[in-house]
């Protein structure tokens, strides 16, 4: 079994975090999963991006057991594995502390859909979890963080294929996608949406969401069978 490609994908995606200015120092982490093997490659905990190497990626199975690696995996490992177990279609997960997304998470507010940049990527507001109870926090915290995300999607009847991002209340964003590259791409999109929505509400506090028809139009330009944005077989 050769996980070299998986580790490379995880490494490349992790390095996008500082490149796109989505977190400082050691903050944030990305994982990539090999669904057949049931193994993910994830950033080691607390290693600065400037020192990170492909071989530092830690291999962990979906029971949170380290399969290979000289480093301890990200402290958020259990959140990643829970999401992989429940969101069967996803191939990569990204967690950042990007500034504007964190601000919305700390303000305990979902990010409203105020324009077509948002609608190009998702139709609803970026959802936000409930604030965790003391019991959850003092219990299996990172596992509970994942459960909060699942609960937010269930309560609002959201699909993880149509909504690839969430804010964990008081904390910050998690994003995902078909692979690790798409997961971190979504983290960059989310930060931009968060900044645009921040500025819009400062300019006009009473502005509401855009109309349903416009949301649908932009989302379906880029997603699904009628999509006509981008190139076939070209990502995007």
Contact residues for its own copies (CB under 8 A)?
20, 24-27, 44-48, 71-72, 75, 97, 99-100, 102-109, 114-117, 131-132, 134, 137-138, 141, 170-172, 185, 188-189, 192, 195-204, 207, 210-211, 213-214, 217, 221, 228-231, 234-236
Selecting among 34, 56, 120, 141, the annotated active-site residue is 120
Shortest distance, position 61 Cβ to its own copies, whole Å: 19
Is the Cα torsion angle 24, 145, 108, 113 positive or negative in sign?
positive
Shortest distance, position 2 Cβ to its own copies, whole Å: 25
Closer residue to its own copies, CB minimum distance, 34 or 209: 209
Closer residue to its own copies, CB minimum distance, 178 or 201: 201
Q: Is 229 a catalytic residue?
A: yes
Contacts of 236 (CB under 8 A, 6+ apart): 222, 229, 230
Overall size of the chain counted in residues:
236
Closer residue to its own copies, CB minimum distance, 155 or 217: 217
Shortest distance, position 191 Cβ to its own copies, whole Å: 9
- For tokens 């191939």, name the residue: 91
Report the distance separating Cα 42 and Cα 17, nearest Å. Answer: 14
Report the distance separating Cα 44 and Cα 132, nearest Å. Answer: 26
Closer residue to its own copies, CB minimum distance, 67 or 210: 210
Report the distance separating Cα 64 and Cα 74, nearest Å. Answer: 11
Q: Is 120 a catalytic residue?
A: yes
Selecting among 25, 140, 216, 229, the annotated active-site residue is 229
| Residue 183 burial (C-beta neighbours within 10 Å; 0-12, 13-18, 19+) | buried
Shortest distance, position 45 Cβ to its own copies, whole Å: 5
Q: How many CB atoms lie within 10 A of CB 88?
A: 9
Report the distance separating Cα 88 and Cα 1, nearest Å. Answer: 22
> Which residue numbers are catalytic?
120, 229
């Amino acid at each position: 079994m050769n996980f070299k490609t998986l580790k490379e994908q995880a490494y490349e995606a992790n390095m996008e975090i500082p490149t796109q200015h989505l977190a400082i120092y050691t903050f944030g982490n990305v994982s990539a999963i090999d669904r057949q093997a049931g193994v993910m490659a994830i950033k080691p905990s607390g290693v600065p991006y400037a020192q990170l190497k492909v071989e530092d990626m830690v291999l962990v199975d979906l029971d949170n057991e380290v399969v290979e690696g000289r480093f301890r995996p990200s402290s958020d490992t259990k959140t990643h594995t829970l999401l992989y177990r429940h969101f069967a279609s996803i191939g990569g997960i990204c967690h950042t502390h990007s500034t504007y997304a964190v601000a919305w998470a700390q303000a305990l507010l979902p990010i409203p859909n105020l324009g077509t940049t948002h609608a190009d990527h998702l139709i609803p507001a970026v959802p936000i979890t409930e604030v965790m109870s003391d019991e959850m926090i003092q219990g299996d915290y990172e596992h509970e963080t994942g459960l909060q995300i699942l609960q937010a999607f269930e309560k609002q009847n959201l699909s993880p294929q149509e909504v690839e991002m969430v804010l964990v209340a008081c904390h910050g964003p998690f994003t995902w996608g078909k692979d690790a590259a798409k997961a971190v791409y979504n983290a960059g999109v989310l930060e931009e949406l968060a900044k645009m929505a921040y500025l819009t509400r400062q300019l006009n506090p009473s502005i509401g969401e855009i109309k349903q028809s416009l949301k649908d139009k932009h989302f379906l330009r880029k997603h699904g069978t009628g999509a006509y944005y981008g190139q076939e077989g070209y990502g995007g």
